[in-house]
């Protein structure tokens, strides 16, 4: 047994690109890790799906890799006392009574359940979602069903577009709850994981039941919602067949988890203090804390219950972020087409950062618009798209690479201004994590653009794993509440470069102008009617 035997947690963090698994020690170290990808398919202009069986297979492979690596470090299966899952949210899997999925997982970017679309479906009740109803949902829950990318609107689409599936559905599960069910055999949810079902009264923290009026307004039958438990509750042991498959000891406990925004907020200590946490993965999110529930529909900024209790967490997501780098590498640098050159033997991300560093601040005038799959906060518009602006004959790929980093950072600056107004305080600094934080260049650009010190977490790629691991350790009584704040460490601090202040202030204005002036064109180009000959698209973005 390891020196800290019996004090390790197996965490699973399911991102849009696939699951990461990590074995976390009680002092916050990642002693074993594994990661596998899953495919996202876009069968129509509004649809975005993933195969739950592929997700499970990737999860098993990731866990086995993490446990094997931990064993090489001296941590045995019996040292892992619990498993907990975090995931991206606003995604839904309908499952039958035996736990089999009945439809592909509808991702957060799926817009088939948008209000205008779903109201045209047969059976949708006239008068639903009246202004009074929307106000009631906003008052009790905090987010009304006015966006097609919410879990509730996914469930509504299945009910009215696929009634055959709806009738056979025993429970609609978010991704983290789906994996939790696969682990222990129980279909459950909690106030954190069920947030986007819009059926829990979030005026009270620690709720373990749905609000009858919110369930009625959801148009979803109450018996199709999984039972609510407490955040971090012990649900039972891992199923014996799953324990054997993963390489865990029988009796390893499964805990009810949280969403990835909440997990990252724990690692960043964003449930108290004067700072904000910024996650830069496939998407970009800003998190911080408030004492009370609050929503601003104009900026798409809202609060979610904190899994640590005692406060609410601001969640401000501005959409595509790190996946813009992957898109650039996949389509412009290493595209699989007639222009393709010999594969490089160097790491693609190292090469990207090296190339971007050649271009000076401002990327020699090139700007990147990061809204590749629409914009979210602070201006939500699913029809917005991205691109490069101000390319000339002297532009090269160094400039384009740096422009990608700057464009994402400038979008964060725009959002951060709305966040400070929302919480009514100035941010002291940024705690930076996610795959994008691995880049020192991007970390410095974030500091320069935001005009704030950027504190990069140690091992930023595993911040969500650390956050859920700390939650599990605290719930299991293996560490105290103060330890959750003490354990995460910062590996580097990036101070803003005053020489770039005016440049990036100007660029921030230009980004917002580009949004406003191009918005009418993008809305027309991306009208929901499907163009003739549109092809199915598949993507495998990186976190």
State mean pLDDT over 394-398: 89
367 phi/psi in degrees, rounded to 5: -120, 145
Say if residue 381's pLDDT is above 80.
yes
Length of the chain: 543
Q: Of 145-159, 329-343, 479-493, which range is least confident?
A: 329-343
Q: So what's the pLDDT on residue 329?
A: 79
Q: So what's the pLDDT on residue 531?
A: 46
Instruction: Determine the Cα angle at 240 with ends 236 and 243, to 5°.
Output: 90
β-strand partners of 286 = 278, 316
Say if residue 511's pLDDT is above 70.
yes
Q: What is the rounded CA–CA span in Å between residue 381 and residue 148? A: 11
CATH 3.40.50.300 assigned to 90-173+193-230: no
Q: What is the rounded CA–CA span in Å between residue 516 and residue 543? A: 29
Segment holding 34, helix H or strand E: strand 30-35
Closest CA to 183 of 12, 51, 18, 25: 12
Q: So what's the pLDDT on residue 43?
A: 93
Strands 283-290 and 276-280: antiparallel
Average pLDDT, the chain: 91
Tokens describing residue 189: 């949810």
Burial of 381 (0-12, 13-18, 19+ CB in 10 A): middle
Q: So what's the pLDDT on residue 538?
A: 37
Going by pLDDT thresholds of 50, 70 and 90, the confidence category of residue 147 is confident
Q: So what's the pLDDT on residue 540?
A: 33
- Residues contacting residue 67 through CB under 8 Å, at least 6 positions apart: 10, 23, 32, 77, 80, 246, 247, 248
Q: Of 114-123, 151-160, 496-505, which range is least confident?
A: 114-123
Closest CA to 113 of 80, 74, 159, 164: 159
Q: So what's the pLDDT on residue 543?
A: 36
State mean pLDDT over 123-147: 93
Secondary structure tally for the chain: helices H, strands E: 16, 24
Contact 282, 16 (CB under 8 A): yes
Q: So what's the pLDDT on residue 120?
A: 93
Q: pLDDT (tens digit, 9 = 90+) per residue, 204-244?
A: 999 999 999 999 999 999 999 999 999 999 999 999 999 99
Burial of 37 (0-12, 13-18, 19+ CB in 10 A): middle
125 phi/psi in degrees, rounded to 5: -70, 135
Going by pLDDT thresholds of 50, 70 and 90, the confidence category of residue 403 is very high
Q: So what's the pLDDT on residue 4?
A: 53
Going by pLDDT thresholds of 50, 70 and 90, the confidence category of residue 123 is very high
- Residues contacting residue 13 through CB under 8 Å, at least 6 positions apart: 19, 20, 21, 22, 85, 86, 87, 260, 263, 462, 464, 465, 468
Tokens describing residue 203: 């005026």
Q: What is the rounded CA–CA span in Å between residue 328 and residue 68? A: 34
Q: What is the rounded CA–CA span in Å between residue 137 and residue 541? A: 34
- Residues contacting residue 533 through CB under 8 Å, at least 6 positions apart: none
Q: pLDDT (tens digit, 9 = 90+) per residue, 299-312?
A: 889 999 999 888 89
Number of CB atoms found within 10 A of residue 430's CB? 25
Q: Domain boundaries in the chain?
A: 90-173+193-230
Going by pLDDT thresholds of 50, 70 and 90, the confidence category of residue 470 is very high
- Residues contacting residue 96 through CB under 8 Å, at least 6 positions apart: 102, 168, 169, 170
Tokens describing residue 186: 């129980």
Three-class SS state of 210: coil
- Residues contacting residue 499 through CB under 8 Å, at least 6 positions apart: none
Q: What is the rounded CA–CA span in Å between residue 4 and residue 469? A: 15
Calculate the CA dihedral of residues 325, 331, 334, 335 and round it to 10 degrees. Answer: 160
Q: So what's the pLDDT on residue 6?
A: 67
Find where tokens 């009858």 sit.
212
Burial of 63 (0-12, 13-18, 19+ CB in 10 A): buried
Instruction: Determine the Cα angle at 462 with ends 293 and 357, to 5°.
Output: 105
Helix axes 501-525, 440-450, angle to 10 degrees: 100
318 phi/psi in degrees, rounded to 5: -110, 25
What 8-state DSSP symbol labels residue 200? S
Q: So what's the pLDDT on residue 345?
A: 59
Q: What is the rounded CA–CA span in Å between residue 150 and residue 152? A: 5
Say if residue 1's pLDDT is above 60.
no
Q: How far apart are the first and last CA of the chain?
A: 33
Q: So what's the pLDDT on residue 12?
A: 98
Q: So what's the pLDDT on residue 439?
A: 96
Contact 301, 418 (CB under 8 A): yes
Number of CB atoms found within 10 A of residue 443's CB? 24
Q: What is the rounded CA–CA span in Å between residue 290 and residue 432? A: 19
Going by pLDDT thresholds of 50, 70 and 90, the confidence category of residue 283 is confident
Strands 253-259 and 189-190: unpaired
Contact 437, 264 (CB under 8 A): no
Q: What is the rounded CA–CA span in Å between residue 402 and residue 291? A: 38
Q: What is the rounded CA–CA span in Å between residue 161 and residue 106? A: 13
Q: So what's the pLDDT on residue 351?
A: 86
Instruction: Determine the Cα angle at 463 with ends 204 and 458, to 5°.
Output: 135
Q: So what's the pLDDT on residue 341?
A: 54
- Residues contacting residue 352 through CB under 8 Å, at least 6 positions apart: 325, 328, 329, 333, 401
Q: What is the rounded CA–CA span in Å between residue 5 and residue 222? A: 43
3-state secondary structure 141-160: CCCCCCCCCCHHHHHHHHHH
Q: What percent of the chain has pLDDT over 90?
A: 77
Going by pLDDT thresholds of 50, 70 and 90, the confidence category of residue 529 is low
């Amino acid at each position: 047994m390891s020196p800290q035997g019996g004090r390790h947690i197996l965490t699973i963090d399911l991102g849009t690109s696939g699951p990461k698994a990590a074995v976390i020690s009680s002092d916050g170290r990642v002693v074993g890790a594994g990661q596998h990808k899953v495919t996202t398919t876009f069968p129509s202009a509004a649809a975005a799906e993933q195969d739950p069986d592929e997700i499970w297979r990737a999860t098993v492979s990731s866990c086995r890799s993490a446990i094997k690596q931990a064993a090489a470090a001296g941590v045995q299966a019996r040292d892992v006392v619990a498993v907990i899952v975090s995931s991206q949210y606003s995604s839904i899997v309908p499952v039958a009574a035996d736990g089999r999925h009945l439809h592909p997982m509808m991702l957060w970017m799926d817009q088939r359940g948008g209000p205008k679309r779903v109201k045209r479906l047969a059976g949708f009740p006239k008068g639903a979602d009246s202004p009074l109803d929307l106000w009631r949902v906003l008052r009790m829950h905090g987010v009304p069903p006015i966006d097609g990318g919410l879990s509730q609107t996914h469930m509504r689409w299945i009910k009215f577009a696929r009634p055959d599936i709806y009738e056979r559905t025993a429970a609609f599960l978010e991704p983290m709850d789906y994996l939790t069910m696969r682990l222990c055999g129980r279909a459950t949810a909690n106030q954190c994981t069920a947030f986007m079902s819009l059926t829990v009264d979030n005026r009270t923290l620690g709720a373990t039941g749905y609000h009858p009026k919110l369930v009625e307004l959801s148009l979803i039958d109450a018996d199709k919602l999984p039972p609510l438990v407490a955040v971090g509750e012990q649900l039972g042991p891992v199923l014996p067949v799953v324990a054997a498959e993963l390489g865990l000891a029988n009796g390893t406990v499964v805990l009810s988890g949280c969403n990835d925004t909440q997990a990252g907020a724990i690692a960043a200590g964003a449930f108290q203090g004067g700072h904000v946490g910024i996650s830069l993965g496939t998407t970009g999110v800003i998190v911080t804390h408030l004492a009370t529930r609050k929503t601003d529909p104009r900026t798409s900024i809202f609060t979610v219950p904190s899994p640590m209790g005692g406060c609410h967490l601001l969640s401000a997501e501005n959409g595509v972020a790190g996946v813009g780098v992957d898109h650039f590498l996949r389509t412009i640098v290493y595209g699989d087409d007639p222009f393709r050159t010999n594969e490089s033997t160097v790491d693609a991300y190292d090469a990207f950062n090296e190339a971007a560093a050649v271009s000076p601040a401002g990327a020699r005038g090139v700007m990147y618009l990061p809204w590749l799959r629409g914009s979210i906060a602070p201006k939500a518009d699913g029809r917005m798209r991205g691109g490069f602006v101000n390319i000339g004959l002297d532009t090269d790929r160094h400039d384009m690479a740096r422009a990608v980093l700057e464009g994402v950072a400038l979008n964060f600056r725009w959002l951060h201004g709305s966040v400070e107004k929302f919480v009514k305080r100035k941010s002291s600094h940024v705690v930076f994590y996610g795959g994008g934080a691995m880049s020192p260049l991007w970390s410095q650009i974030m500091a320069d653009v935001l005009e704030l010190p950027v504190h990069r977490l140690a091992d930023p790629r595993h911040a969500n794993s650390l956050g859920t691991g700390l939650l599990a350790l605290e719930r299991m009584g293996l560490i105290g509440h103060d330890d959750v704040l003490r354990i995460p460490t910062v590996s580097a601090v990036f101070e803003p470069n005053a020489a770039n202040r005016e440049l990036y202030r100007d660029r921030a204005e230009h980004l917002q102008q580009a949004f406003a002036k191009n918005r009418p064109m993008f809305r027309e180009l991306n009208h929901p009617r499907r163009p003739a000959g549109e092809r199915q698209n598949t993507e495998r973005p990186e976190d």
